[in-house]
Chains A and B, each alone.
Chain A
Amino acid sequence: MGVGAGIDPQTHGGKSLMHHEFLDRYSRLDSPVHRLPAALKFVLALIFVFVTVALPLAAREWFIGLFAMLVAIAALSRIPWLFLLKRLLFLEPFVLGVAVLTLFQPNGIRVFATIFVRSTLCLLTMVLLSNTTPFATILQVLRRVRVPALFVTTLALMYRYLFVLVDEAERMHRARASRTFTPKTSGNHAHRIHLWQMLGTVIGQLFVRSTERAERIYAAMLARGWR
């Protein structure tokens, strides 16, 4: 089973096909950081994240040092600062949503602060990893550390068809909405029922299409000498 390595994310097609911007679109820039071996970046990210989570906040040197290092890496990687900031701001609510729960205990503020610092540093590490390392290279690393081939193949195919299916789902949603009715979330009772039914049909249709696509892909894989 060897699909993963052969899949080049750049063949995904241009913007015409996909309305979603690639979240890892800076992963194929050319910079000293991008040129580092993926396995090294992967292991470093792993170490950064695990040490950050394990250390108490009292170990200030680590947290400040890591932050300085991440900023340096970001500068070297030539990823636009605004993009990094936007990614962090976009992801931070997910952290805060859970972090709020930590406030309900004695000493809650301190726990909250600890978690906030840790999560943000880990988030920055992971954002940098995913934007300096193409996903296909991460897959190669996973394959090298003996992650079962079936799982790597699944990941590779998923990455390849992710945006195709998201796009397909949006198109179906739009087509249905424009031809039959315009559901309003704040609408009346009938609207709500329609909205749910429409959602059920769109997701059901999406599954049927995914299945049929999988069958075509299997035929194509066989035709290209898979296995």
Chain B
Amino acid sequence: MHIPDGFVDAKTAVTSGVLAVTGVGIALWQAKRTLPARRVPMLGLASAFVFAAQMLNFPVAGGTSGHLIGATLVAVLLGPSAAAIALAAVLVVQCFLFNDGGLTALGANIFNMAIVATLVGYGVYRLVRRFAPGQRGLILAAAFAGWCSTVAAAISCAGQLAISGTVPWSVSFPAMAGVHMLIGIGEGLITALVILAITKLRADLLDNTTSSVATPVTAFVGFGLVAALGLALFVSPFACKWPDGLEKIAATLGFEHHALEKPLLPAPISNYALPGINSAVVATALAGVIGTVIVFALSWVLARVLIPKPTAESR
């Protein structure tokens, strides 16, 4: 999902740059106020950890592999501010040292993967946790949040490409959202498995961090505003134009699967439109909702498989 140079135009680069600086600024301000001094090195180590974890591939479909983004994982383990800082640091190093992701697109990449992914992942995690306590709830929330954060970041990325005029929304949205609805399953699965492993290895790490960093309201509101503003700028202009492009997708989708860098299995509802429903908007929304419900159900099954029986202490 790293956008290279040349894909975002000046206005998008500047806008997303400002949003990224604001978002990371809020995270830094928050971390400075609440992070105990002994945890400062952890930010750097968490960044290195995310980088190393991103190098371990997992199989996606048809012999290809994907890798973790890690925003949800770090947000669950260390809180949203630390996660945003760590992910931003990873993206800066990837840009300057490994030339992965462009300099003009650095703001866009930070906005998508360090702010939107973190915020959505953490928000969904907290929300699901509220209704699903215990170990099973932990797995369910982590897996579902991991998927949501990946898809949200992909949609934001699609919006930036479209608003820059490089890739039309009718192509970028189904391509990015479609691919990442698949990759997101891997992200959710790994996030849940890693958190499960940590509860077995050192449960204290998880308890300490999640409860002591629990939802700093000011930072969360600030983050929320930045992410909402960005999504409103990048994505909402297309939400209403969407029906016009729908026919075109149907035409292009045929060979899009061959043209993509990573070949993939077509999603069950691949072109985002269910037959028999006239309004394209309703169909799109419905397809999105069904996909989300399916992933939620999968996460629920995963939680039941991984955690044999809710024990007395986790209740």
- Residues of A with Cβ closer than 8 Å to B? 1, 23-24, 45-46, 49-50, 52-54, 87, 91, 93-105, 111, 114-119, 122-123, 126-127, 129-130, 135, 138, 148, 150-151, 153-162, 164-166, 168-169, 173, 185-186, 192, 195-197, 199-208, 210-211, 213-215, 217-218, 221, 227
Q: From the candidates B2, B49, B85, B172, name the one contacting A154 in the complex (CB within 8 A).
A: B85
Q: Taking A119-B102, A165-B52 as contacts, is the C-beta distance between A210 and B166 under 8 angstroms?
A: no
Within 8 A of A (CB), among B58-89: 58-59, 63, 65, 68, 73, 77, 85-86, 88-89
Contact B10 A200 (CB under 8 A): no
Q: From the candidates B44, B88, B200, name the one contacting A156 in the complex (CB within 8 A).
A: B44
Contact B59 A185 (CB under 8 A): yes
Q: From the candidates B48, B65, B97, B161, name the one contacting A157 in the complex (CB within 8 A).
A: B48
Q: From the candidates B2, B48, B73, B248, name the one contacting A94 in the complex (CB within 8 A).
A: B2
- Residues of B with Cβ closer than 8 Å to A? 2-10, 13, 24-25, 28, 31-32, 37-49, 51-53, 55-56, 58-59, 63, 65, 68, 73, 77, 85-86, 88-90, 92-93, 95-100, 102-104, 161, 166-168, 171-172, 175, 189-190, 192-198, 200-202, 205, 248, 252, 256, 259-262
CB distance from B181 to the nearest CB of A (A): 16
- Nearest 10 pairs of A and B residues by beta carbon: A157-B44, A200-B193, A204-B197, A97-B261, A122-B5, A118-B6, A119-B6, A158-B47, A165-B52, A214-B45
Q: How far is the CA of A185 from the CA of B59 in the complex (A)?
A: 7
Q: Taking A126-B103, A155-B93, A161-B48 as contacts, is the C-beta distance between A115 and B7 under 8 angstroms?
A: yes
Contact B38 A102 (CB under 8 A): no
Q: How far is the CA of A172 from the CA of B179 in the complex (A)?
A: 30
CB distance from A205 to the nearest CB of B (A): 6
Q: Taking A118-B5, A200-B197, A207-B49 as contacts, is the C-beta distance between A97 and B260 under 8 angstroms?
A: yes
Contact A115 B6 (CB under 8 A): yes
| 11 examples of A-B residue contacts, CB within 8 angstroms | A1-B40, A101-B161, A114-B6, A122-B6, A123-B5, A123-B102, A151-B24, A153-B40, A153-B44, A207-B49, A227-B37
Q: From the candidates B6, B96, B100, name the one contacting A138 in the complex (CB within 8 A).
A: B96
Say whether chain A's binding surface is mostly helix, strand, loop, or mixed.
helix
Contact A151 B5 (CB under 8 A): no
Across-interface contacts of A208 in B (CB, < 8 A): 198, 201-202, 205
Q: Which residue of B lies closest to A197 (CB)?
A: B193
Across-interface contacts of B172 in A (CB, < 8 A): 101
Across-interface contacts of B44 in A (CB, < 8 A): 153-158, 160-161, 214
Q: How far is the CA of A133 from the CA of B167 in the complex (A)?
A: 34
